[in-house]
């Protein structure tokens, strides 16, 4: 069974755009869960994996469609992996990028070790009680800078420098970010998994 349409379990419009671009080459169209008034799933878990799966199952339950969710965040080495799964709420429940970034930079004041990485876990379920979800992970290694650069991306991107390119996530065009990012890397793995289950020679598999 090949997937043609996927509900994306996110309320983040910029993330949705990234999903759309990454899935188009696979011939999969996306629809936002907001179009079905899906209530946001709670994210109470300690791992990206459990939160991603909870979000995907929640979207499938409310729509009856296959659903794809990601749970992602920024892990800063000197902060013991924080903000991690709490990245969206680092500075409080208001989920403000500006407040989160201000807290991050304040927490790193005087800290020399700026190593960090973004992690994204993608979970795809065919239905709410799918016993064989597809789960993949991607990482993007970089470092945190004190002065923001660029207007693209979202979240922590203006402060996240990709040292190999010398650009922050916010300075990259969306395609370049997609090729480098945690989400992009996870997607590359997802494409392999999808092809293995339903693509190419396996198109007739259930």
Residues marked as catalytic: 71
Q: List the beta strands (DSSP E) in 45-169.
A: 67-76, 115-125, 134-144, 160-162, 167-168
- Among 59, 157, 184, 185, interactor with ligand IMP by CB under 6 A: 157
| Of 53 and 197, CB closest to ligand IMP | 53
Using CB under 6 A as the criterion, what x/- string covers residues 110-139 for binding ligand IMP?
--------x---------------------
Q: Are 183 and 190 in contact (CB under 8 A)?
A: no
SS3 at position 7? strand
Q: How far apart are CA 201 and CA 44, in angstroms?
A: 40
Using CB under 6 A as the criterion, what x/- string covers residues 58-97 for binding ligand IMP?
------------xxxxx------------xx---------
| Of 51 and 197, CB closest to ligand IMP | 51
Q: What is the DSSP secondary structure assignment for residue 83, as one 8-state letter?
A: B
- Among 116, 126, 181, 186, interactor with ligand IMP by CB under 6 A: 181
**Distance from the Cα of residue 135 to its chain's centroid:** 12
Q: Are 18 and 174 in contact (CB under 8 A)?
A: yes
Residue 110 CB, shortest distance to ligand IMP, in Å, is 23
Interface residues toward ligand IMP, by CB under 6 A: 12, 43, 70-74, 87-88, 100, 118, 153-157, 169, 181
């Amino acid at each position: 069974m090949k997937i043609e349409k996927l509900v994306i379990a996110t309320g983040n419009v910029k993330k949705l755009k990234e999903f759309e671009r990454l899935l188009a080459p696979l011939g999969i169209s996306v629809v936002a869960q907001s179009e079905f008034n899906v209530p946001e799933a709670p994210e109470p878990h300690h791992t990206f994996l459990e939160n991603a799966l909870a979000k995907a199952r929640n979207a499938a339950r409310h729509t009856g469609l296959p659903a794809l969710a990601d749970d992602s965040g920024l892990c800063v080495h000197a902060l013991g992996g924080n903000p991690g799964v709490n990245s969206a709420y680092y500075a409080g429940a208001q989920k403000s990028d500006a407040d989160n970034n201000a807290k991050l930079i304040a927490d790193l004041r005087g800290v020399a070790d700026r190593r960090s990485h973004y992690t994204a876990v993608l979970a795809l379920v065919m239905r709410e009680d799918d016993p064989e979800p597809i789960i993949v992970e991607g990482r993007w290694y970089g470092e945190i800078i004190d002065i923001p650069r660029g207007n693209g991306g979202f979240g922590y991107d203006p402060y996240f420098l990709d040292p190999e390119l010398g650009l922050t996530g916010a300075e990259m065009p969306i395609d370049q970010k997609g090729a480098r990012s945690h989400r992009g890397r996870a997607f590359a793995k997802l494409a392999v998994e999808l092809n293995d289950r339903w693509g190419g020679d396996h198109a007739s598999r259930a």
